[in-house]
């Protein structure tokens, strides 16, 4: 995960998950429909959906009427889960121990603990992850819905119904 710049895949995956959170229970939506909703390239959306599936956030069904749905309740999936699925669990800041180089190098024995700079970045990154961990997909979906007027909500419902082809699992 990059602490300062996330890949566009994180945004795409979060939006796709928000759409899946709005699906009626037991319904799926095709990857191509999730891509087309925001005019995104279908192959890249499929790649990000596969990452979400590997992380256990979504499940897919194959064949005619197949598609994706959340693997568990939107209340149980956080934005941090989505970031980790797409970006990986690694820290964004990678200490290179440059304090051991140059004209005034820090002796190896004094590098047993992280330097103040690495500690500050890692602390900020942990706070960032914690903050995203407190925001569920259910909360995001609620916020999106509260920003829509009745007409737009109705259009979204119609689009979802058409996109999933009325298929049930």
Query: Taking CA 16 as the corner, what is the angle to CA 33 and CA 165, rounded to the nearest 5 degrees?
Result: 35
- The 8-class DSSP code of residue 78 comes to B
CATH number of 8-92+136-164: 1.10.10.10
Find the mean pLDDT for residues 135-159.
91
* Whole-prediction pTM: 0.84
Query: Which pLDDT tens digit goes with each residue over 34-73?
Result: 999 989 999 999 999 999 999 999 999 887 778 999 999 9
- The 8-class DSSP code of residue 107 comes to P
Classify 102 in phi/psi space as left (phi over 0), alpha (psi -120 to 50) or beta.
left
**Residue 80 above 70 pLDDT?**
yes
Share of the chain above pLDDT 70, in %: 95
CA atoms of 98 and 66, how far apart (whole Å): 51
**Domain-by-domain residue ranges, the chain?**
8-92+136-164
């Amino acid at each position: 995960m990059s602490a300062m710049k996330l890949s566009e895949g994180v945004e795409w995956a979060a939006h796709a998950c928000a759409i899946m959170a709005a699906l009626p229970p037991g319904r799926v939506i095709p990857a191509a429909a999730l891509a087309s909703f925001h005019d995104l390239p279908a192959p890249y959306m499929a790649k990000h959906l596969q990452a979400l599936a590997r992380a256990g956030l979504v499940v897919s069904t194959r064949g005619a009427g197949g598609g994706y749905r959340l693997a568990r309740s939107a209340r149980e999936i956080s934005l941090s889960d989505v970031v980790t699925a797409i970006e990986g669990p690694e820290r964004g800041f990678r200490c290179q121990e440059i304090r051991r180089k140059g004209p005034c190098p820090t002796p190896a024995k004094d590098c047993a603990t992280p330097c103040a700079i690495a500690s500050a970045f890692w602390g900020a990154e942990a706070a960032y992850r914690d903050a995203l961990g407190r925001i569920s997909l259910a909360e995001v979906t609620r916020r999106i819905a509260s920003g829509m007027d009745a007409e737009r909500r109705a259009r979204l419902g119609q689009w979802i119904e058409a996109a999933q082809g009325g298929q049930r699992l």
